Amino acid sequence: MAEDSEITAWHEAGHAMMAILQGGHLERVTLEPPFDDGPARYGDTVTRWSGMSAAELAMAEIHVSLAGPVVEMIYTGDRVSIASVPEWQADWQRATSNATAGSRDAAAADKLLRQSVSAIFDLFEDRNQWAAVSAIADDLLAFETLEHEQVAETIAFWQRR
């Protein structure tokens, strides 16, 4: 597999793992997204949410949106502003939209985004959490598409350690 596929696998593994940790149900995580009329994508994570308040859903969406870029930064060793990377614009816009909707002003939304990025970096500094996201990325590279149960089992395995 090409290096780009590896990076995409790590990125999508971050989204998928965070979606499950936030209480979502993965419809799929894939390295073979449908090529529809939207922007070109190299990976896709589709999550279904239920039983959450609007505020809880907004926070979950913020964390899921930012987890892909954060995992990719950790994997590549390049720490940059998420807003500055063209490939991450959809993630950044989704996170910003959710943060703005629930904040009293732009400064509060910016603070929420910075705190969320920091919390996600902290989460993946845990050795078992990093092992789980690594195993999900490896499974994506091997199978190209995963379902909820596969990802949830991997996370549960590493959380029991």
Classify 141 as helix, strand or coil: helix
- The model's pLDDT over 130-155, given as tens digits with 9 standing for 90+, comes to 999 999 999 999 999 999 999 999 99
pLDDT at residue 161 in the model: 85
- In this prediction, residue 102 carries a pLDDT of 81
Query: What was the pLDDT predicted at 104?
Result: 86
Query: Quick one: residue 117, left, alpha or beta (phi over 0 = left, psi -120 to 50 = alpha)?
Result: alpha
Residue 92 is predicted with a pLDDT of: 97
* Tokens representing residue 23 in the block: 């209480």
Residue 147: CB atoms within 10 A of its CB come to: 14
H/E run at residue 28: strand 25-30
Residue 81 or 38, more confident? 81
What tens digit of pLDDT does each residue of 33-55 get? 766 555 555 788 999 999 999 99
- Dihedral sign, Cα of residue 152, residue 28, residue 7, residue 84: negative
Nearest to 44 by CA among 120, 144, 130: 144
Q: DSSP string spanning 81-104?
A: -GGG-GGGHHHHHHHHHHHHHTSS
- Predicted pLDDT at 42: 77
* Listed range (17-26, 102-111, 120-129) with the worst mean pLDDT: 102-111
Q: Which CATH architecture has domain 3-34+41-159?
A: Up-down Bundle (1.20)
Rounded average pLDDT over 99-111 = 92
Residue 139 CA to its chain's centroid (Å):
16
Mean predicted confidence (pLDDT) in 116-129: 97
Task: Give the type of residue at 54.
Answer: A
Tell me how many degrees the CA angle 118-123-128 measures, rounded to the nearest 5: 155
Round the average pLDDT of the chain to a whole number and report it. Answer: 93
The domain locations on the chain are: 3-34+41-159
d(CA 68, CA 122): 14
